[in-house]
Amino acid sequence: MTAALLGAGLEGAGVIVSGAAGDIGGATARALAEAGARVCALDLPGDALDAAVASLPGRDDHIALPLDLGNTGTIDAAVRDAADRLGTLWALVHAAAFLRRQAPVDVTEETWDAQLDVNLKATFWLNRVVGELLVARGSGGRIINFTSAAWMTGPMIDSDVYAASKGGVVTMTKGFARRLGPWGITVNAISPGQIETAMQRKENSAEAMAAVAANCPLGRMGSAEEVAAVAVFLASRHASFVSGATINVSGGLLMY
């Protein structure tokens, strides 16, 4: 355990991390595990999820939750079962998302629904069931959603539907923060800027990524681990009076 994670109050805490087989979700799951949390890794069924759970440090009782968030009808029961298996649920970190780049003229109802279902509808269902479980437990807790800088800047490079869904996440986060605050439950969102991930490398040329890095005041793209560190902070005792906030993790590329 690194010195920066000591005193976070996460030892033995049960935390559900969605998108745990991806870059940012995976880094977040590992960082929480390093801080002593027992992690429930949520992602699509398959080898990537199994490998993500197997790689988590610190404990040998982390668990997997294979779940397609596009099928929102399965979320409630699956999360309740996972919470039972965790034993002590403290936090949700919802990092999973789906992006389909299309010009507005090419957007179909199918691609609209696919992005809104995962990015916005599933966020509501996850926040609702975790909020209910935390209220019933009566010991407070944390909910951490993920949005995008596009919630403020608007869409870029044919991400109109994705940006709309992420704007909704910010609004929804504030609503749940107000509703759950009386029970000591904080609800916040993380807004990553340009982070070096497999998706970025797949969708952009090396030249485009270099241009993005040059535009950032820090002169580089961020790492998944830097985003994960913010998630650990928000899940920890150190963020006990932070709620309803959207935390900008963009290296200054976005300022407000």
Pairing of β 185-192 and β 141-146: parallel
The tally of CA atoms less than 13 A away on the side-chain side of residue 255 is 7
- The sheet with strand 246-249 has its strands ordered as 63-66, 38-43, 14-18, 89-94, 141-146, 185-192, 246-249
Q: Which two tokens stand for residue 228?
A: 């994960």
Nearest by Cα to 240 from 39, 114, 91, 118: 91
Residues carrying an active site annotation: 162
Q: Which two tokens stand for residue 174?
A: 């504030």
Q: How far apart are the C-alpha atoms of 212 and 99, rounded to whole Å?
A: 19
Q: How far apart are the C-alpha atoms of 11 and 54, rounded to whole Å?
A: 19
CA angle 8-14-18, nearest 5°? 100
Whole-number Cα distances in Å, 3 to 7, 190, 195: 9, 23, 24
Q: Which two tokens stand for residue 115?
A: 């992005």
